[in-house]
Each structure stands twice: as C-alpha cells, then as structure tokens.
Structure 1
Amino acid sequence: MATWTKRLLLTTLVTAAGLIQAGCTNLFFYPDQTVYITPDRLELDYEDVYITTGDDETIHGWWLPAQGKPRGLVYFLHGNAQNISSHILNVAWLPEKGYSVFMIDYRGYGRSTGEPTLEGVLHDAESGLRWLMNNRHEGELPVFLLGQSLGGALGIVLASEWQQREERRALDAVILDGTFAGFRDIAREKLDAFWLTWPFQAPLSWTIDDSYEGTEHIANISPTPVMIIHSVRDGIIPFHHGKELFDAAREPKEFLQTDTPHAATFVIPDYREKVIEFMEAAAARKE
C-alpha cells in the first residue's frame, strides 16, 4: 500500500473515531468566547443575566427591555456557531417594536460555563425559559419562542415538553427560522456531503440520540401556534427541512417562504413585519 494511501486511511479512521467518541457533537456545536458586539453599541438598554442550572453550570444571557409600551416577550435561542454577541442583530429590531427579548448562550458559548452536549444545551434552553417566566413575565404579556437553526431544533423539543406538561405559564407562539427536521437527519446529510466521512454516514448518525427529532415532537406543540420560516436559498439547512417540519406540525401553523441566506431572514423589513403580524394574531387568540 502506497504511503499516501496509508495516510489517507489513517486520517479517515481518526476522523471517524473522533466523531464516534464525541457522539457527533462537533457537527452541532461551534462555540467561541469572542465578544463581537454588545447591545449598547446598538443603542439598546440591556442587563447581564446569569442562571445556575440544575447541574451547576452558569448560563449567561442578555435581557433587552422593550422600548415604550411593552407588547410581549421574545425568548431567543440562537444557532450553533459563536455566541449571543454575533447573533444579536437577529433580534435587535424587536425592542423598538415593543417586544422585550431574552437571549442566552448555551453551556460552552460566550460567558457560559461547561462544554456543550445535546442533553446539556436542551437543559440550558429550559433553564432560560423558566428564568424568563419567573422573573420577567408580568401581567398578561404574551411570550413567544423564536429559534434559529440549532436554536429552532432545541425550541421544538422545549415547546413540545412545555405544552405536554401543561406548564402554568404557557407559550403563546413558536417561531422557527431555518431549522432542521431532526438532529440525526441533518447529521447524516452533513456526513454524506464530506468525502472523508461519507462512508461512515450511517453508523456515525446512529450515535445521535433520536429522542429529539423535530418531526417527532413538533405536533405536540399544538394548540400553540407555530410559524416555520425557511429560505429557498438556504445553503446550510436545505429548504426541504422546513417543509418536513411544516407537514409534521398540527394546526394552527403558518409557513413563511423566504429568499435570503441562512439566518439572514430579519435583514428584510417585510419578513420582520410578517413575524410581527403572526405574533399579534397569536396573542389575539387568547384574548
């Protein structure tokens, strides 16, 4: 066997072994601790929030209060890379519209402690929602969950369990932007796209717990309204994922087809207005 062939085989085996050992975690989590921008640079008031989870990690978040008369609360779960400081532009427009925003970094991201795992970040997502409901839920203000990409996948599981447990403070609507249909499904697609891991796509994807597939949980969010947003130009999470989630969801549901790069929905004012209209309609359902 030629030397280069041996090296290629060794590289492939090491890559596969590393992914198996990590349970394919590296396919989902790409945290960093760089501060890209802070809310004050965007002329937003904000408060640093630190939450201690049940397993003794510390989760950092930002509370962005609404400007003027508050119309509702938005709990934002961001995508898989960097941290809240690089994702804030996705929600920085909401306070001016009268919506307070709470956004967190999962464990291992930004100023949050620990290392990200699927179970761990799901726990963090729930910890953040509980903090919001217990500390900032005032009067009858509606509460909306907005998840982008990975955050949407986490949000599906969280909202499903929240609804199934009939939590005292219910969500008023769930908005999913550029979200994949399931952790195992997207892992298999990504492994299939890379020639080094293509031969291992089936066994490696099986290392991912299939208890959290979005298409299996999204129906349980009903009767809470769901909006699914997906772009026909999404080069990270293909458009068919959004359609699969929409087909699996129960009414009331709405699909917003967009035409932007991945996680760039809210650059377009018209898409912002569509989301505002959806939230207003969802809030009106409970009046």
Structure 2
Amino acid sequence: MVILESILTGMTITIGAGTLLYFYQNELLYPAKYRKKSCEFDIPIFSNDGILYTEVILTTKDKVRIRAYVYKRPNDDEACKRPTVLALHGNRGSIGQRSAIVHKFYHNFKFNVVLLSYRGYGHSEGIPSEEGIKIDAQTALEYIRRHPILYGTKLILYGRSLGGAVAIDLAARNEDEINALILENTFLSIPKLLSTLFSPLKYLTFICTQIWSSDEQIGTIKKIPILFLSGKLDALVPQQQMKELYELTNTSAGKEWKEFPFGNHGNTISQLGYWIVIKEFLLWAIFDKDEGKLK
C-alpha cells in the first residue's frame, strides 16, 4: 500500500508538472516577474569614463519594436577599427544589469558594445518566445552590419545562460558574419535541462515548444573560435551540460575551456581571472598576439 501511494503521489506530481510545462512553459522560461523588473534598471552609463550610448529602436521582420543600446568608441576612426561585442542576456537578465560587461569591453578593451533587449524585456515590445528572440538577435546583427561605422568591425558574440543559446543559434546561422563566440553557463537544450532539474520531466519533454537546441547547432559551427566559461558550482545549469557542449564543438578555429571553481550561475562573471581569460582568448582569436593588431 505504501509503495502504491508513493507511485500515485509521484504520478500526480509528474502530471502536475507536465500540465504546467505544457500551458505555461513560455512564462516559466521567460518569467514576467523578472522581465517587468528589468525595466527598473538604468541603462549602464559611465559619464566619468566618457562612455555614452545611443538608444535605437529596431523593427523586426515580424513588426516588433525592440531596443538596443550602442556604445560606440567616441572617435569614428577608432570605432571602425576596433571590434564590436553583441551582448546577449539571460532569461532573467536585464541590460541595465550589464554594467561590468560595458565597462570591461568598452573601457578596458576599447571595444564597441551593443546591448540587445529581447522582445518583452526592458522597454522592448512584444512577448518573448524562442522564435521571436531568434528574430531579435538576427535583427541586431543586421543592424550592426548596416551601421555606417560598425559595419566592417570584427564581431564577437557574448552570451550568458539563455544568451549563450541565442549566441550559438545566431552564430550557426551567420557564420561568415561572426569572428568569435564567448559562452558562459549555458545549456544543451531546454528539454535536457528540464530533465536534469526534475527527472520525471524526461518523459514529458516531447511537449516542449521552447527547445533551444544548442547541442545540435554548436557542431555545425566550423570556423568560429569559441570560449567556454563555466562556473563549477552552477546549480541551475549543471556544469556537465557546458562540458558536453565543449565536447560537441569541432570548429577548426579553436576552442578553449575555462572553469571557475567557486563560480555559480550568477557570480561567475565576478570570479578572479574571468576577464583575463577573455582577454587572452581574444588575443589569439581575433588579434595578432605579437603585434596587438587585429588579424
């Protein structure tokens, strides 16, 4: 009887979880609580360092107006010669929380930076979905390639968590436009992530509409150098998923793995040596290390 009750309880929990997954998966993956809160954060700007941004409204092919924030080097001649970073945030992220990213890439590395706010996040219109966010990222890429100053710059995609999946998808579909890919604490796919977080869901992942199949796409990237930044203590996205992505990568341009022993899902970016690793990766990925010039 005890065994039967346990089985019934387990079935009830699984069915309940499956029902939530089926009807509310977009809300679970792109929670409104955090998307609304993201509007409260100021866009990162450092007037003391002379960092100014331009807010642009981009209209996607499905007629959604999204926001991007462009931090261009102050001198146009310098801007067109320096790389550009397209930063892609996580599912609970806010571009207003990307101060460290802007400061390091813009102030320390002297790069141009573009922050994208997905549909439904910050002040962008629309409702987030896998299909929609992929369109948003493509729209941002096309904006950069049409920009009168940034169009010819080396382009680096930097994605954390969900942003890593967005970056992988964008790179896989636009390999000739991307020069380097930086991924932090991202996952194999949503079905595989859900199976890890709650094992009974492995029998219900067929009902997922949000897939983000990075495990399938990353192997199609053949000529972009990729850096993997992994927090060993990540409890949300198990490190094993990052390791498997690394193993699935077969780019001829080279790949690099860096583990941070005390990094979790949220604080890996603040771990000692994080930005040093990125700098050293970029030296061989897009620069001539001996001369410090772009390849």
Could you say whether these structures have the same fold, taking a TM-score greater than 0.5 normalized by the shorter chain as the test?
Answer: yes
Report the Cα offset of residue 267 of structure 1.
2.0
Q: Distance in 1 between matches of 2:237 and 2:216?
A: 18
Q: Distance in 1 between matches of 2:241 and 2:140?
A: 26
Pairs within 5 Å for 1:7-156: 16-22=18-24, 24-30=25-31, 31-32=35-36, 33-40=38-45, 43=48, 44-66=51-73, 69-70=78-79, 71-96=82-107, 97-135=109-147, 138=150, 140-156=152-168
RMSD of Structure 2 on Structure 1 (CA): 2.8
**1:47–1:138 distance in 2 versus 1, CA, 3 Å:** closer
Report the Cα offset of residue 25 of structure 1.
2.0
Report the Cα offset of residue 261 of structure 1.
2.2
**1:128–1:184 distance in 2 versus 1, CA, 3 Å:** same
* Structure 1 residue identity aligned to 2:124: S
CA contact (8 A) 1:149 1:263 kept: no
1:221 aligns with 2:224: no
CA contact (8 A) 1:122 1:154 kept: yes
1:266 aligns with 2:277: no
Q: Distance in 2 between matches of 1:257 and 1:67?
A: 35
Q: How many aligned positions are there?
A: 270
Report what 2:193 is aligned to: 186
* Structure 2 residue identity aligned to 1:158: L
Normalised by the length of structure 2, the TM-score is 0.81
Report what 1:238 is aligned to: 238
**1:263–1:65 distance in 2 versus 1, CA, 3 Å:** farther
Q: What whole-Å deviation, never above 9, does each CA across 1:183-212 have from its counterpart, x for those lacking one?
A: 2111222333xxxxx4xx135421225864
Q: Percent identity?
A: 24
Q: Distance in 2 between matches of 1:210 and 1:249?
A: 22
Q: Distance in 1 between matches of 2:260 and 2:233?
A: 8
* Structure 2 residue identity aligned to 1:188: S
**1:95–1:19 distance in 2 versus 1, CA, 3 Å:** same
Structure 1 outlier segments of 4+, above 6 Å: 8-12
Q: Distance in 2 between matches of 1:40 and 1:155?
A: 24
Which stretch shifts more, 148-157 or 84-93?
Answer: 84-93
Q: What whole-Å deviation, never above 9, does each CA across 1:75-122 have from its counterpart, x for those lacking one?
A: 010011042112343343211120111011111111011111111111
Which runs of 5 or more structure 2 residues have no equivalent in the other structure? Answer: 1-9, 289-293
Q: Distance in 2 between matches of 1:154 and 1:253?
A: 18
Q: Distance in 2 between matches of 1:19 and 1:26?
A: 9
CA contact (8 A) 2:45 2:53 kept: yes
**1:255–1:42 distance in 2 versus 1, CA, 3 Å:** farther
Q: Distance in 2 between matches of 1:171 and 1:229?
A: 19
Report the Cα offset of residue 279 of structure 1.
1.6
Report the Cα offset of residue 15 of structure 1.
5.3
Normalised by the length of structure 1, the TM-score is 0.83
Report what 1:282 is aligned to: 285
Q: Distance in 1 between matches of 2:88 and 2:270?
A: 18
Please, which of 172, 175, 179 is the counterpart of residue 172 of structure 1? 179
